[in-house]
A and B are shown apart, each in its own frame.
Chain A
């Protein structure tokens, strides 16, 4: 079922890519231009998605006929949500680093992520402060990356 849905998603993406590519201008000296490769890639998505979905049809038919759930185990919602934690932390960093500063945002992120894996409070606090300050100083001082200072600017 998973591959069947993914196949459909690829087919839909292929249609969108081809549609967007058709809006690009053509070149005077050639019959094709910037739209050629994206259109071919869109075609690739369509064909590949079709193959992926069609291959699943007999399996789905058998499952439907015998009324068995097959490999369709219930979705592990808790595990899926937990796997999104790093993404949430990145979004948190993007939204807060300008006014909190890179070091503070990173420290909060490390602290929360460590607690989520049941690390002790003291260890989480120590590692988050040490690691975020080390990373901040390596990149801002040694590699001269203009990381957002935020609250750090009041520190000195």
Chain B
């Protein structure tokens, strides 16, 4: 009980509450401006959170990401341009509804479903993660090695598009994680005689380069701001919501469950959760043909899922230190920088931090209701902010933010190089999430492998000697063999159907 009170004290103080409020406004703004993603918002925020206490720092990140995911729906509805990738799944429906004068009604449903999804995911986080943490306490370096490998493998198999490209993206992240002094031998690797690289590559300049500079380069490579003033609707935000919720409440629960589950898988973020939930909802709907023609049901499915995905991603991040998406990968880096190691012990250290985090999640989602309402009412401000003014200012934040981590110009160079490489790769459809997971989990993977090998005197079979370790190892192998197994099954099925045709 004392720990819970301690946790509440950590949240309910002026500093943290003000940070939550400021972060929610920042999140709404970034999410509502097309081209600025939730991950970019968090990457820009990290240099500032670096100077905060752990709870306000995490509160800022949680609130910004939850808010940005919702407010991405505002330009999606009015302009047919998703503010963040998470709104892309239902942009067609939202915009068609807006064109028929129901923009505020649509955004009201979006807002309530987003709040519901976020709270649903948080409840699962609160109830599931402590039990999982008790299991995780039994883990040794063998289990953590397999777990890191499982997370990295998932990031390849879940990625949208080419798996080869996702694999190469992961390799880039892993390579970056090897820069610096080797933990076992102390030998410098890929430091090229630069003293600043001895401690390794800090993930913040990499993050800013990959997500912010990359976007800036894409913006300057494109033509014009090209946004005409849309006709803003005057309908009521909440008056139709109860009716829609009464009709589609099972969709909200299904979307919340799918979102939390997908969010918990490493490499799969809120955008994938929204797409899957939309597809599942369409498959099970009585009005399948209405999806994509301005139907509110698909919006309920997907907007519940994308916000619950944000909370779901925190389950593996807090329990095992394995990030569920790019945002939790950033948070894990922040926690390490603050000397707090995410993992099962975070639930038992008696500092109340974990309860503070849970409360922050609830608050971040609840504050979305009034701030989101205000954002819907003042949508014009967000959607018409000229990017030609905004982008140069963001670039300045990138430069100063990268510099501020170690007060070193080397970090600005790192951001520049990574941003340029990421821009080339993004133009060639390489996903960025595996690279970030590789960078964050690379050290965990290598250190746990090396310490396991030292413990077992180089015996590789020791990785299968403990029951949980063997189970996780089998899961990884099965995952890697799954494309071959699927191919074999398809061939077998095809051959059988051919045989049946010949016989008939």
Q: Which residues of A contact B453 (CB under 8 A)?
A: 30, 32
Cβ proximity bits A56-100 to B, threshold 8 Å, 1 near / 0 not = 000000000000000000001001101111110111011000000
> Of the 9-residue stretches B13-21, B324-332, B416-424, which lies at the interface with chain A?
B416-424
Q: Which residues of A contact B388 (CB under 8 A)?
A: 114, 117-119
Q: Which residues of B contact A145 (CB under 8 A)?
A: 400, 403-404, 407
B190 within 8 A of A: yes
B99 within 8 A of A: no
Q: Which residues of B contact A122 (CB under 8 A)?
A: none
Q: Which of A48, A102, A147 neighbours the largest number of chain B CB atoms within 10 Å of its CB? A: A48
Q: Which residues of A contact B454 (CB under 8 A)?
A: 29-30
Cβ proximity bits B394-436 to A, threshold 8 Å, 1 near / 0 not = 0111111001100101001101100110010000100000000
Q: Which residues of A contact B171 (CB under 8 A)?
A: 41, 44-45, 48
The reply to whether B413 and A94 form a contact with Cβ atoms under 8 Å apart is yes
A38 within 8 A of B: yes
Q: Which residues of A contact B178 (CB under 8 A)?
A: 37-38, 41
The reply to whether B175 and A51 form a contact with Cβ atoms under 8 Å apart is no
A87 to B190, CA, bound (A): 24
Q: Which residues of B contact A102 (CB under 8 A)?
A: 400
Closest B residue to A134 using CB positions: B393
Q: Which residues of B contact A25 (CB under 8 A)?
A: 185, 187
A32 to B453, CA, bound (A): 10
The reply to whether B428 and A143 form a contact with Cβ atoms under 8 Å apart is no
A146 to B405, CA, bound (A): 11
Interchain nearest-CB distance for A20 vs B (Å): 7
The reply to whether A93 and B412 form a contact with Cβ atoms under 8 Å apart is yes
Closest A residue to B409 using CB positions: A94
A131 within 8 A of B: yes
A127 within 8 A of B: yes
B461 within 8 A of A: no
B127 within 8 A of A: no
From 128 to 156 in chain A, residues with beta carbon under 8 angstroms from any chain B beta carbon are 128, 131-132, 135, 139, 143-147
Residue of A51, A83, A93, A146 touching B164 (CB-CB under 8 A): A51
Main secondary structure of the interface of B (DSSP, over half): helix
Interchain nearest-CB distance for B156 vs A (Å): 10
Residue of B168, B407, B449 touching A52 (CB-CB under 8 A): B168
> Of the 9-residue stretches B215-223, B350-358, B362-370, B373-381, which lies at the interface with chain A?
B215-223
Cβ proximity bits A12-48 to B, threshold 8 Å, 1 near / 0 not = 0000010011001101011111100110010011001
Q: Which residues of B contact A83 (CB under 8 A)?
A: 217-218, 220-221, 423
A31 to B407, CA, bound (A): 39
Known: A2-B428, A44-B167, A83-B220. A135 touches B400 (CB 8 A): yes
Q: Which of B400, B409, B428, B453 neighbours the largest number of chain A CB atoms within 10 Å of its CB? A: B400
A82 to B218, CA, bound (A): 9
Q: Which residues of A contact B196 (CB under 8 A)?
A: none
B40 within 8 A of A: no
Known: A24-B187, A83-B218. A109 touches B392 (CB 8 A): yes
A6 within 8 A of B: yes
A84 to B424, CA, bound (A): 11
Known: A38-B178, A84-B217. A113 touches B395 (CB 8 A): yes
Q: Which residues of B contact A106 (CB under 8 A)?
A: 396, 399-400
Q: Which residues of B contact A114 (CB under 8 A)?
A: 388-389, 392
A9 to B449, CA, bound (A): 29
List 5 A-B pairs, Cβ < 8 Å. Answer: A30-B454, A80-B221, A94-B412, A117-B225, A127-B392
Q: Which 3 A-B pairs have the closest CB atoms?
A: A83-B221, A117-B388, A34-B182
